[in-house]
């Protein structure tokens, strides 16, 4: 099946700094990617839809100026958490649709962010 790779798998940063997470589709092109956030023992909450070559679409309640998304190529989307605070500590997971008739989403490994 298709492979989505996410980096870094975990990161610790100081409050007020910015952190960039990369999501790559390794063997297929993804015009769309989805970014989810998962707090401990909770579900995956959709944050935004990343669109190659255009602005991302953010879900209600997600601050677009805080969570910057860039989808500059057909295989790479990045999520930058700006001015991170402890409450931003979470598991961030990207995904890309297979693009075929199945509708299946392929998930990255996830990135665990801890803000001190």
Query: Would you tell me which residues interact with another protein (CB under 8 A)?
Result: 31-32, 34, 36, 41-46, 49, 91, 93, 95, 97, 99-100, 102-105, 107-110, 112
Q: How many angstroms separate the Cα of 41 from the Cα of each of 84, 90, 96?
A: 21, 11, 23
SS3 87: helix
Nearer to another protein, 53 or 100 (CB): 100
As measured in angstroms, the least distance from the Cβ of 12 to another protein is: 15
How many CB atoms are located within 10 Å of the residue 48 CB? 22
In whole angstroms, how close is the CB of 97 to another protein at the nearest point? 5
Nearer to another protein, 82 or 114 (CB): 114
Contact 105, 2 (CB under 8 A): no
Collapse the DSSP code of 58 into the 3-class scheme (helix H, G, I; strand E, B; otherwise coil) and give the result: strand
Identity of the residue, 45 or 76, whose beta carbon is nearer to another protein in the bound complex? 45
């Amino acid at each position: 099946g298709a492979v989505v790779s996410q980096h870094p798998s975990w990161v610790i940063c100081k409050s007020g700094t910015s952190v960039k997470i990369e999501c790559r589709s390794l063997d297929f092109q993804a015009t769309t990617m989805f970014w989810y956030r998962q707090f401990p023992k909770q579900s995956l909450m959709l944050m935004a839809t990343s669109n190659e070559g255009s602005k991302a679409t953010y879900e209600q309640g997600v601050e677009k100026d805080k969570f910057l998304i860039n989808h500059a190529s057909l295989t790479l989307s990045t999520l930058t958490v700006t001015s991170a605070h402890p409450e931003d500590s979470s598991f961030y997971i990207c995904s890309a649709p297979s693009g075929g008739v199945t509708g299946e989403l392929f998930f990255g490994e996830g990135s665990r962010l801890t803000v001190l």
